[in-house]
Amino acid sequence: MRTHSKVLRIAALVLAFSSGVARADIPPSFVGLSYQFSVPIGETYNYVPQVSWRGIGLDIATFIREDIAIGLAFGWNVFAINTTSTLTYKGSQITGNQDRAINFWPTLVNVRWFPRVSSNKDTQPYIGLNVGGYITERYLAIGLSADQSTQYLFGLAPEIGVFFQNPVGAVFVNARYNMAFPGGGVPFQQFLSFNVGYAWARGGPNQ
């Protein structure tokens, strides 16, 4: 009888443990793709003053708490122009017909906070901060001559946005202020990106 009783206890413990594992909540997460257009600021504007309509982003995030998510953000933002305006480039004054371009490839780690501001779980605003690096490629061509330089710059990007959730995922819009600090002869770069995308989610910040 004692042996039978022990077996029943062990079976009950195993069953309880299995039920607990089956019910354990897996942290919700999402993968998002976005179209981005960007407005140059400061030295970025001085080099290419036109708004960029070419940009794409990839976001991957996991919620470590109901209202906090950590993740990664990748992107590609392109600024380009053909101009005859005078440019100071690497200490020299350059005039004449020029093709100028800047490519940014941000690789950022981020944290986002999703405050509960209303009872509507389908609309969820958030604020976030991105930290990481920007691969920055500057290109300049004058006639048959061309110069290109690539540097990896440390940067920050505060962000604000909102998710509009649905049963499959969420549409999101956000604005991100990108700042890449000077290095390797590249001056301080800044641009404001406006992003519209879709996130495929498993769970959500308030589910």
Backbone angles phi, psi at 20, to 5 degrees: -65, -40
pLDDT band at 8 (very low <50, low <70, confident <90, very high): very low
Type and span of the H or E element at 10: helix 2-23
Q: How many residues does the chain have?
A: 207
pLDDT surpasses 90 at 203: no
- Residue 27: the pLDDT is 61
CATH 3.10.20.70 fits 28-202, yes or no: no
Q: Note whether 166 and 122 are within 8 A (CB).
A: yes
Q: Note whether 55 and 193 are within 8 A (CB).
A: yes
pLDDT band at 9 (very low <50, low <70, confident <90, very high): low
Closest CA relative to residue 115, chosen from 29, 206, 207, 199:
206
- Residue 101: the pLDDT is 97
- Residue 24: the pLDDT is 37
- Residue 201: the pLDDT is 81
| pLDDT tens, position by position, 109-135 | 999 999 987 667 789 999 999 999 999
d(CA 71, CA 178): 17
| pLDDT tens, position by position, 17-68 | 333 333 334 569 999 999 999 999 999 999 999 999 999 999 999 999 989 9
Share of residues in the chain with pLDDT > 70 (%): 84
| pLDDT tens, position by position, 61-112 | 999 998 999 999 999 999 999 998 888 777 778 888 899 999 999 999 999 9
